[in-house]
């Protein structure tokens, strides 16, 4: 069984890039949104549209509930990326940044600081506009992560130690 790709789709600028990689590798893509915006999707059996009810974090909750350790999640939402990593899944942002257990803590902390500053009336800058190099970096990173997930799923875990038999 191959890994699936989950897209946090409401604000995802790289859906078409995900579809290209998934089609080439034969992966299923779950496009999760709250349905408030009409997202046009190709009508193929390997793309699954998931529409959840409107509300804060409802799509994130659905993804976090369904993603598994061999899957890949495409999201720029830092808390969702953290939840996916906790389940052992791979997470990548739309600009090609890999979310890892090494960098997610500082990203969550930075997000909390920015939220606090906004609550005091300070202006914080949002993400930088998407550049062509971001899409290229995203494609490369997604391909790498999907290939790694496929290899990890295909090969059984290797025992790093054996009990001593007397």
102-112 pLDDT, tens digit per residue, is 877 776 677 66
Residue 104 lies in a domain: yes
The domain that holds 111 is classified in CATH as: 3.40.50
Residue 163 lies in a domain: no
Give the pLDDT confidence of 33-84 residue by residue, as tens digits.
987 666 889 999 999 999 999 888 899 999 999 999 999 999 989 899 999 9
Residue 19 lies in a domain: yes
Residue 20 lies in a domain: yes
Residue 160 lies in a domain: no
State the pTM of this model.
0.82
String of DSSP letters for 72-134: EEE---HHHHHHHHHTT-EEE-TTSPEE-TTTHHHHHHHHHHHHHHHHTT-----PPPP-HHH
Mean of per-residue pLDDT scores for the chain: 86
* C-beta separation of 28 from 4 below 8 A: yes
Residue 31: which H helix or E strand, with range? Answer: strand 28-33
What is d(CA 87, CA 68) in angstroms, rounded to the nearest whole number? Answer: 6
pLDDT at 157 over 60: no
Residue 131 lies in a domain: yes
Strands 4-8 and 90-92: unpaired
pLDDT at 138 over 80: yes
Residue 28 lies in a domain: yes
Q: Which residue range(s) make up the domain with 140? A: 4-154
Kindly indicate the confidence band of residue 132, based on its pLDDT and cuts at 50, 70 and 90.
Answer: confident
Residue 67 lies in a domain: yes
Kindly indicate the confidence band of residue 28, based on its pLDDT and cuts at 50, 70 and 90.
Answer: very high
String of DSSP letters for 51-70: E--SSTTHHHHHHHHH--TT
Q: How many domains does the chain have?
A: 1
Residue 60's DSSP bridge partners are none
Q: From the centroid of its chain, how far is CA 121? A: 31
* C-beta separation of 77 from 60 below 8 A: yes
């Amino acid at each position: 069984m191959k890994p699936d790709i989950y897209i946090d789709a409401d604000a995802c600028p790289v859906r078409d890039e995900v579809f290209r990689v998934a089609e080439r590798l034969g992966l299923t893509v779950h496009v999760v949104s709250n349905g408030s915006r009409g997202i046009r999707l190709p009508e193929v059996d390997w793309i699954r549209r998931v529409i959840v009810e409107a509300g804060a974090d409802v799509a994130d909750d659905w993804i976090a509930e369904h993603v598994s350790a061999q899957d890949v999640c495409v999201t720029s939402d830092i808390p969702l990326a953290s939840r996916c990593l906790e389940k052992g899944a791979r997470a990548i942002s739309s600009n090609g940044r890999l979310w890892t257990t090494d960098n997610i803590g500082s990203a969550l902390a930075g997000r909390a600081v920015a939220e606090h500053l906004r609550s005091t009336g300070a202006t914080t800058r949002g993400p930088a506009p998407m550049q062509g190099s971001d899409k290229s970096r995203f494609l490369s990173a997604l391909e790498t992560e999907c290939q790694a997930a496929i290899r990890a799923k295909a090969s059984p875990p290797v025992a790093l130690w054996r009990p001593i038999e007397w």
